[in-house]
Every structure is written in C-alpha cells, then in structure tokens.
Structure 1
Amino acid sequence: MEPWIAATLAAVCFQTARFSIQKRLKTAGLSAAGATWARFVYSAPPLVVALFGVQRVSGAQLPFPNTEFWAYGLMGGVAQILATICVVALFSRRNFAVGITLKKSEVLMTALVGWLVLGEAVSLAGFGALLLGAVALLVLSRETVAQGGARQSLARRLLTPSAVLGLTSGLFFALAGVGYRGAMLALGDDPLWLRSALALTLISLSQMLLMLGWFLWRDRAEIARVLAARRPGVAMGLTSLGGSFFWFTAFALQNAAYVYAVGQVELLLSILGGAVFFGERLSRREVSGVVLLGGSVLVLAFVV
C-alpha cells in the first residue's frame, strides 16, 4: 500500500471518532463554534509539548517556517475552522452519515482549488470519478430537502440550510486541504514526520488563539462551557491530534484532491458510527447516494 493511502486511511479513522465526539459536544449544549474550538483547546497545548520534547530527544533541527508556509498555513487553518463549524452545525439538521456525505463535496472542489492555487491538475479519468461523486451528492441533497414528498427544483434543493452548510463546508475543507499541502511543500525536504509535526503544531496553536480572540470579543461565556467539557474534550483532542498528523502527512505526499477522494471511505465508518452510537437509519435514497459515492472511490482506486 502506498504511504499516502495508508496515512489517509489512518486519518479517516481518527477523524470519524472526532466527529462523533463533536456531535456529542454540540448536543450537550456547546455552540457549533464552541465544539470546534474545543478541538484546538485540547490538542494544541499537548502538541507544543510533544513537538519540543521529541525534538530535544532526537536532536533534529526544526524546519524554518517561512512566509510562504504561513500564507498557506493560515489560509488552511482559517478555512478549516469555518468548515468544521459548518459540519458541526449540519449535524443538528441531518443524521450523522448524511452530514458527512454532504461534506464530501470537498473532493470535487479540491480538484479545482488545487489547480487554481498550486497548479496541480487531476487526470481526466480521475475527474470523471469525482463527477460521479457529485451526482451522489445531488441524490443526497434531494433527500435532505424534500418536505412531505413534495417535488422541488434543483435550485431550491441546493439553497436549503442543510445543503448550503454541507456544500459550504466542502468549499472550506477544499481550501484547507490545498493550504495545508502548500504549507507542507513550503517547509522543504526535511524529514516528513518533522514537517508534519511542526506544521500541525504551529497551525493548531494559531487556530486556538484565533478562536480564543473571537470568544473574548463576542461570547466569553462559551469559553467556560468549553473548559467545563474536559472529559469529552480530552478525548476529542487526542483523536484530533492523530487525525491531523496523518492528514498533514498525506497532503505532503500527494495531490490534495486524491487524498480527499480516498478519504471518502469515511462514509462507511460514519454509517457504522451513526448506527452504533446514535441509532440512525438511512432511507433508500440516502443509501443510493452513498453507493454512488462509494463507486466513485473505487474508480479512483484504479486510476490514481
């Protein structure tokens, strides 16, 4: 198995667990922004300690985070914050598996953003597989907004709150993935684990501080609520740490669009997680959309 595929699969496992915990935090009384900030609060400080501890033991020289790194890194970091807020808000409107599926519009968008920002193009066959995934999203968006069986236009389906949140999160995740790949490439040829650890630490710390500034300005009470949610917060911080490290590693090795495409195996885990933890069931149309999206992953496995 290619290293970038193995890293992506590991990231997906950690991310699915993290989203499950974030959904519980959202239903437990935290706002979407609070549940998002909790991720950074409980992962960034341990990352700083771990990075410098490992660096001191190994004697490795940390790469220099130049201007290009910060430009790409902050673009990705801010986009990830906004994307995660959208996903957590989406969990309140749709069941767990479909919320994750709508988020997967990130795959098609990443192909475009990666080409525009980094000049990285996908193959024609790969683009066809991404289009198949887009069809699956349309099937799911129709299920999402159908009210009482009424037929609605495509425009109305895509402009409902659930569809807008899913598609907006996909766009922001696309910007995040491309930004993180650009940041990793900007760190040069240092050992992969060291670049991943440094990028993850600096960006996570920046995200934590940016959101802290927001809460100090707009909602100081939410800070206390996040800090009070220590038990699920620590669990989410650990899963976030593992998932982010492997995402950064995968982005350093491969085109972000292909990384996200392989990451669609998250759907299988989300369905299992929704059934086991939340007792959720999918309708026939939702199952059809998931099957189509899974088919696009299989096609990509043969063309990448």
Structure 2
Amino acid sequence: MSWILFTLLAAFSQSWRNAFQSRLSKEMNVTGVTLSRFLWAGPLAVLYLFALYYYDPVSIPTFTAYSYLYIIGASIMQIVATGLMVVLFKQKNFAIGAGLAKSEAPVAAFLGVLFFGTSLSLLGWAGVAVGAIAVFMLSCPNGIKSISLKTALIGLACSTSFALTSLWVREASLTIDLPFPHRAAWVLLLVICLQTILLVGYMLAKDRKTLITMFTKPKLVVMTSIASFIGSLGWFSAMSLQTVPLVKTLGQVEVFFTMLISFFWLKEGIKRKDMLALLLFAIAAVLVMW
C-alpha cells in the first residue's frame, strides 16, 4: 500500500506548489511561473537518483522507442497543463483554479478506460460523476445562469493535459526494465530535464528579462521547485505502482490542503458553494477508492 503514502505526499506538496505558483502569477508571466516548477527540480532529481543507486545499486536501464515517446509526450503535456493552470489562477482565485485543475481525476478515468486498459466499477463511475458535478459548480461563479464557458473550457483543457501526463508517465515507467523505485526515478529525472531545457531555451530566445528575474529574486522560485519536485516524486512513484485513475482520485484529498492554504496563507475568501464543490471532489475520491 505504499502507493497511498506516495499519493498523500504528492497531494500535500502539490497544494503548496500551486500556492507558490499562484503568488508568482501576480509578479511574473505564464512562462516564468511554469518554468519555476522545473528550474531547480532537476538537481534534486539527480541527487535522488544518485541516493537510490548508492543504497541499492542496480543496472542502468535500457530505454525503448516507446519509453522516449511517452517521456517526450508527458514532458510537453505537463508544460501545457501547468501553463493553463497559471491562466486559471489569473482568472479566478487560487482555490477555485486548483479545484478546476483537479478535474484531472475523472478525465484520467475516462481516458484510462478508453485507451489504456484500466477499469472502474459502478461505484467508481459514480465517483467520476460526482467529480464532474464539482467541476461544473466551480465553473459557475454566480450560479447556473452565469456559467463561465471560457473558464470551464480552460479547466477541461488543463485537466486533460494533466491526465495525459499522468497516463504517459505510468506507461513510460512500465517500459523500463528496473525495479521500483528506480524506474520511477529515471522517468522523473528525464521528464524534468527535458522540460527545463525546452522552457529555458524558449525564454533565452523570447523572454530573457523574465529569466534574469527568476535568478535575481529566487526565493519563491526555489520554493516552487522544491515543492514541485517532492510532489512529482510522489506522483511518479505512486503511478509506477498503481493505475492512474486510482492514484488521481485519492490525490483529490489535495482539495482540503488547498482550502487551508488559500484561507490561512493567501488570505483568500472561499464561498460556501465553492467549499461544497471542493468537498464533492473528496467524496468522488472516496467513492472511486471504495
């Protein structure tokens, strides 16, 4: 049951990473906030892999063509997903933006069943339905008559991108001929390094000013990268051990951490309707796990 502990670690760390990125989004553009997730996570991933080999030496893995395809696809999709989530933060407050991104769980369930050979019980699908209702509620800032179609579509695109990232990360891990946790650590390292190279290269060509700012005022950027690395370590490890729909539905406990951080640290108010929607996410997670 170690995947449950990894998932809880990931959910807690990700809620803080989202909070740091939400605050960064008020000072930096979307590309800069997205890069902050990966910029300092690479060295941490190297240290983590080195520590694994030091305490439990195994062979160097053999990567197949599918390994590279899944790693490249996951890297690009996670960049897209993170960028869309930052856009959500700029449109609404932190808790609601993070809540819309959490519709990743039902999307992952649908995609997993359709394309990746996973399955859910009737109770599991009931959980998916409850999660969908919660997303609908968060997309209606002033009731059903004022549905924000734009916000809902961004939330759907964000969650779909995160879902594809998760599914491809798991598939990449399963193609590597190493025991756990080494195979998850290799995928983590390669994905973070590729993402960093892509974003730094883009910013060197298009936005050097923001890149320089990230190094001259590094505190919040470093905190974002550390929280992101711990969260990714948890997600990648859990998804290496268990199917994505189960991991992501359990991971919806993040909504409780999100509410606490939003209220106590970011000083953002949360409406009763929004709290109910976030609670429905948690109920959806319980139904699917059950």
TM-score (norm 1): 0.89
Matches of 2:38 and 2:279 in 1, distance apart? 33
Shift of 1:271: 0.2
Shift of 1:158: 5.1
Partner of 2:153: 164
CA contact 2:124–2:289 (8 Å) conserved in 1? no
Q: Which residue type is aligned with residue 229 of structure 1?
A: K
Report 1:3-152 matches (<5 A).
3-27=2-26, 29-52=27-50, 54-55=52-53, 58-143=56-141, 146=142, 151-152=145-146
Shift of 1:53: 5.6
Matches of 1:229 and 1:136 in 2, distance apart? 37
Shift of 1:47: 2.0
CA contact 2:21–2:224 (8 Å) conserved in 1? yes
Q: Which residue type is aligned with residue 201 of structure 1?
A: L
Per-residue CA deviation, residues 41-81 of structure 1 (Å, 9 max, x unaligned), is 11113322442464356433232222111111111111111
CA contact 2:36–2:221 (8 Å) conserved in 1? yes
Per-residue CA deviation, residues 70-122 of structure 1 (Å, 9 max, x unaligned), is 11111111111111111112112212211111112111111122234322222
Check 1:51–1:298 CA distance in 2 against 1; reply closer, same or farther (3 A cut). Answer: closer
Shift of 1:231: 1.6
Shift of 1:220: 2.3
Equivalent residue for 1:208, pick from 192, 196, 200: 196
Query: Which secondary structure state, in structure 1, belongs to the residue aligned with residue 38 of structure 2?
Result: helix
Matches of 1:116 and 1:227 in 2, distance apart? 43
Matches of 2:105 and 2:218 in 1, distance apart? 33
| Aligned residues between the structures | 290
Query: Which secondary structure state, in structure 2, belongs to the residue aligned with residue 91 of structure 1?
Result: helix
CA contact 1:39–1:236 (8 Å) conserved in 2? yes
Matches of 2:33 and 2:79 in 1, distance apart? 11
Check 1:150–1:73 CA distance in 2 against 1; reply closer, same or farther (3 A cut). Answer: closer
Partner of 2:260: 272
Structure 1 residue ranges (4+ consecutive) displaced by more than 3 angstroms after TM superposition = 56-59
Check 1:150–1:300 CA distance in 2 against 1; reply closer, same or farther (3 A cut). Answer: closer
CA contact 1:72–1:180 (8 Å) conserved in 2? yes
Moved more, 166-175 or 107-116: 107-116
Query: Which secondary structure state, in structure 2, belongs to the residue aligned with residue 281 of structure 1?
Result: coil
TM-score (norm 2): 0.93
Q: Which residue type is aligned with residue 159 of structure 1?
A: L
- 1:181 and 2:180 matched: no
Among the aligned pairs, what percent are the same residue?
Answer: 30
Shift of 1:223: 1.5
CA contact 2:35–2:199 (8 Å) conserved in 1? yes
Moved more, 281-290 or 115-124: 115-124
CA contact 1:30–1:226 (8 Å) conserved in 2? no
Equivalent residue for 1:246, pick from 214, 227, 234: 234
Shift of 1:294: 2.2
Query: Which secondary structure state, in structure 1, belongs to the residue aligned with residue 60 of structure 2?
Result: coil
Q: Which residue type is aligned with residue 153 of structure 2?
A: V
Partner of 2:269: 281
Q: Which residue type is aligned with residue 6 of structure 1?
A: L
Pairwise CA RMSD: 1.8
